[in-house]
């Protein structure tokens, strides 16, 4: 290596130029692509919500969303109402699905009142209440949408993750796991208990829907516990709203 590249001045200059180039390059890509990326995220959210209430193009084994170009139309067709619950007050807001659950969770930690979005959908004469949930798995964030009826019986669920172990924790977004939740009760004897992910309920085919348990994924204990924990802590916040539904 030539002598020129050893001097301190050169090193500092090189570092400065490099930082400027890299910074500019990244900032350019980030800002140029941001609208497209946000649009993709918006579409995905709509797809997820629709998936949870059973509007999807599933084949026999795999989970397939409504296609991208149809999703906007389907979303406005099936989702009849979007509401935001904040401290017992319910307001209608047709942009409620854009609420960032992560931000709301941080706001709650800081002592602010959290906004809880809930989407109300109609399909084949039945009403679905779809709530977003978010929590932590083994490595990173996990999140999803749960569709329920007025009695808090699960009618559909969609889970996703940022970086769970491939082949183990990542299976939470597989049909065999998500479909297990359909029909499962969130309440027991009128009280909210959530759904546990169990390894030892002697019910691997999940025939018993009222035991508040679904079968776990082997090798993914911590991810499974994360799913159970987010269902419990997030959906509990909606219980008071569901209670008002029943008296109506």
Partner 1 sequence: MGLLSKKDAKLITDPFADNNPITIQVLGICSALAITAELKASIVMAISVLFVMGVGNVVISLMRNIIPSKIRIIVQLIVVATLVIIVDQVLKAFAYELSKTLGAFIGLIITNCIIMGRFEAFALANGTWRSFLDGIGNAIGYGVILIIVGFFRELLGSGTLLGFKVLGDPIEKTGVYALGYENNGFMLLAPMALIVVGIIIWVQRTKNPALVEEQ
Partner 2 sequence: MEHIELFFKSIFIDNMVFATFLGMCSYLAVSKKVSTAVGLGAAVIFVLAVTVPVNWLLDQYILKEGALVWLGPEYADYDLSFLSFILFIATIATMVQLVEIIVEKFAPALYNSLGIFLPLIAVNCAILGGSLFMQSREIATLGLATTYGIGSGIGWFLAILAIAAIREKIRYSNVPAPLRGLGITFIVTGLMAIGFMSFGGMLTGGDEEAKDTSKTEAVKVAKDDAKAKKEKEELANNTKEIKE
Q: Which residues pair with 89 in a beta bridge?
A: 86
Contact partner, 168, from partner 2, partner 1, none, Cβ < 5-8 Å per class:
partner 1
- Residues of this chain that bind partner 2 (CB under 8 A): 22, 26, 30, 103, 136, 139-141, 162-163, 198-200, 221-222, 229, 232-233
Q: Compute the least distance from the CB of residue 192 to partner 2, in Å.
A: 11
Indicate the SS3 state at residue 232: helix
Residue 182 tokens read as: 């359909």
Burial annotation 54-90 (CB, 10 A radius, 16+ → b, else e): bbbeeeeeeeebbeeeebeebbeebbeebbbbeeeee
Cβ(167)–Cβ(204) below 8 Å: no
Residue 10 binds which one of partner 1, partner 2, none, with CB within 5 to 8 A depending on kind?
A: partner 1
Nearer to partner 2, 229 or 235 (CB): 229
Residue 83 or 141: the one with the smaller Cβ distance to partner 2 is 141
DSSP letters of 215-241? Answer: EPPTT-HHHHHHHHHHHHHHHGGGHHH
Q: How far is the CB of 30 from partner 2 (least distance, A)?
A: 5
Give the list of residues 6+ apart from residue 221 with CB closer than 8 angstroms, or none: 199
The residue assigned the tokens 């977003």 is 132
Question: CB under 8 A: which stretch of 29-37, 108-116, 177-185, 226-234 binds partner 1?
Answer: 29-37
Contact string (CB under 8 A) for partner 1, positions 129-148, x = contact: ----------xx--------
198: contact with partner 1 by CB under 8 A: no
d(CA 134, CA 143): 4
Nearer to partner 1, 1 or 125 (CB): 1
Among partner 1, partner 2, none, residue 183 binds (CB under 5-8 Å by kind): none
């Amino acid at each position: 290596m030539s002598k020129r590249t050893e001097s301190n001045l050169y090193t500092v200059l090189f570092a400065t130029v490099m930082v400027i180039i890299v910074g500019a390059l990244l900032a350019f890509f980030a800002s140029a692509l941001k609208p497209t990326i946000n649009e993709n995220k918006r579409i995905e959210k709509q797809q997820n919500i629709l998936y949870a209430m059973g509007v999807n193009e599933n084949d026999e084994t795999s989970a397939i969303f409504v296609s991208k170009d149809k999703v906007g139309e389907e979303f406005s067709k099936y989702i009849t109402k979007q509401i935001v619950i904040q401290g017992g007050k319910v307001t209608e807001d047709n942009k409620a699905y854009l609420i960032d659950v992560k931000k709301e969770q941080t706001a709650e930690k800081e002592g602010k009142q959290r906004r809880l979005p809930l989407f109300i959908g109609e399909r084949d004469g039945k009403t679905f209440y779809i709530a977003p949930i978010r929590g932590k798995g083994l490595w990173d964030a996990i999140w999803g949408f749960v569709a329920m009826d007025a009695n808090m019986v699960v009618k559909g669920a969609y889970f996703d993750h940022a970086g769970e172990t491939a082949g183990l924790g990542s299976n939470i977004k597989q049909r065999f796991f998500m479909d297990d939740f359909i029909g499962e009760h969130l309440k027991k004897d009128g009280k909210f208990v959530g759904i546990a992910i169990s390894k030892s309920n002697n019910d691997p085919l999940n025939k018993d829907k009222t035991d508040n348990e679904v079968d776990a994924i082997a090798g993914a204990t911590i991810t499974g516990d994360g799913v159970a924990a987010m269902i419990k802590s997030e959906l509990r916040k909606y219980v008071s709203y569901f209670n008002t539904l029943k008296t109506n």
